[in-house]
Amino acid sequence: MNYAATLSVVLLLVISGLGLVVDSNRTGGQPLCSTMPSVFMQEFCQHIDHVVVIFMENHAYDNYFATYCLVKGPYCTETAIGVSPGTCLPQVGYTGNSSYPTGKPVCPEGSIAPWNFTAENLSTIDVAHGEANTVRSICGTTANASCLGQAPKMTGFWNGEGKTYTVFGHYNGTTIPVYWDMAEEFGLGDGFFSSDPSYSLPNHWFMIAGQAPPQSQTYLTTVPEQHHYIDEANVTNTVQDLLNNTPQVSWKYYDWTLAPYNQAIATTGGPLPSNQPGNGSAYSLWNPMAGRNESYRPAEAAHFVNRTQFFTSLSGTLPNVSWVIPQGGYSDHPPANITKGQSFVAQYVDAIEESKYWNSTAVFVTWDDYGGFFDHVGPPGKTPTMNPLGLSIRVPLIVISPYTPAGLVSAQVGYFDSILATIEQRWNLGCVVPGRTQDCTAPVMSSYFDFGLTPRSPCLFPTNASLASYPDTTCALPRSAAQITPSLWTGSDEGLNDTEAD
């Protein structure tokens, strides 16, 4: 659709005393769509009333979709094609083939070949992927973060991730059929990067804040580190603060109900819980807002609920904004079996599609960091991002909505802050800290929607199908290139002005 088309004039209503401008055909004090900062956002506002973010764990783009465009997707870009199995890639520190896995492609000394995972690899080891590991993987020879922002080499994974061949394996349409099926039926992003070159905690912060407390960059393994983290978390603004000031916009964080504050901040200096309430849960790796004392106030705590309540909300109380966080065994986080993660995502997506909210909902499914797995595309430089470390390694992004064309593969550069910016602009929230947080300048997710489409019918995905007999859905055939506006599926922002934020 041509976003430059003139929009029809809408009727304005100014609420006396509040000065709030709303559309006459919208309720709840939602902002006037014609005041959105770009033509795309104006149309997004007209069509989308609900955004759902499903935040999975620990997989790089190539680990899931390296060979996707060799099999599917008529609009694949060069970077989306990935690396063909058997291609020898230089890896600093790799010196020989003596212990190379049996039956895997063998390369000369100094190079390693990516290889196809099989059903034996549905559960893998959890390799290190903290800041030092990430930096070394990107830069090749050093863990000094000063190398970030320069031309990325992507040659340090062998040393950076513990000298294991697991890092170079990847799944395909046989081992992750649900994710490939969703990508083929809706939209896949091959230019989407995690926001911080580190592990889960700082990246979960960027998803909801456009920034992260400095202490979150390191694993919180001692009591002083945990105390310091809580101190920083309590003075780190998030979208929660914007939403508190905009009560007409409803939201929930579907993970678990918060424990009492005195239990949540209990410190042991031991391993941290990822997503469970109780002792030490304020340091959750997957719930940054659990580290803020304001979340425990009665009015705020009501926004944090068990993930199973999401299904109840689809009967009539779905919030405008929802974050859905899986429990550990269903998160794709190694060593979890990824068949469980696929079933988890399919259950939530199907439930949305079968609800009355389908025609007004956009679903973003992504993974919080690369998990130590190899990806061949280096992150963009430090600009225009505000994170002093720049962006990190690519992660998959699947976008599902009634306005997302089947078979779409977008090269538009985006990151977690882009999803946050899309939410902020849709509800006229501003950004977390103007001029200082990354959501203020992040591009919105414009390339995944065509509002010229008649809303697509639901496309349901099997939730417990055998991998050996997975029935690919055939809800819609990908459109030809001639039927898609180039700016839509290439990710071009020409003429959209989508990077502006309040």
Transcribe 367-427 into DSSP letters: ESS-TT---SSPPP-SSS---TT----B--EEEE-TTSPTTEEE---EEHHHHHHHHHHHT
**Cβ-contact 389, 460 below 8 angstroms:** no
For residues 266-288, one letter each, b for 16 or more C-beta atoms within 10 angstroms of the residue's C-beta and e for the rest, the string is ebeeeebbbbbbebbbbbbbbbb
Its pTM stands at 0.89
Report pLDDT for 270: 64
Q: Which fold has domain 12-63+172-490?
A: Alkaline Phosphatase, subunit A (3.40.720)
Nearest to residue 443, comparing CAs of 424, 459, 456? 424
What's the rounded mean pLDDT across residues 97-103? 75
Q: What percent of the chain has pLDDT over 70?
A: 84
Out of 138-152, 334-348, 474-488, pick the least confident. Answer: 474-488
Categorize the per-residue pLDDT at 151 as very low, low, confident or very high, splitting at 50, 70 and 90. confident
Condensed to tens digits (0 to 9), the pLDDT of residues 344-376 reads: 999 999 999 999 999 999 999 999 999 999 999
What's the rounded mean pLDDT across residues 299-312? 96
Categorize the per-residue pLDDT at 483 as very low, low, confident or very high, splitting at 50, 70 and 90. low
| Pairwise pLDDT comparison (460 vs 8), residue with the higher score | 460
Condensed to tens digits (0 to 9), the pLDDT of residues 274-290 reads: 666 778 899 999 999 99
Condensed to tens digits (0 to 9), the pLDDT of residues 329-345 reads: 999 999 999 999 999 99
**Encoding tokens for residue 248?**
């007409």
Out of 10-24, 26-40, 409-423, pick the least confident. Answer: 10-24
Amino acid in the structure at residue 162:
G
Amino acid in the structure at residue 295:
S
Please check the confidence at residue 100 and state whether its pLDDT lies above 90.
no
Domain ranges of the chain: 12-63+172-490, 64-170
Categorize the per-residue pLDDT at 501 as very low, low, confident or very high, splitting at 50, 70 and 90. very low
| CA–CA gap between residue 54 and residue 177 (Å, rounded) | 18
| Pairwise pLDDT comparison (266 vs 393), residue with the higher score | 393
Transcribe 160-218 into DSSP letters: HTTS-GGGGEE--TTTSHHHHHHHHHSEEESSEE-SSSS-HHHHHHHHHHSS--GGGGS
Categorize the per-residue pLDDT at 80 as very low, low, confident or very high, splitting at 50, 70 and 90. low
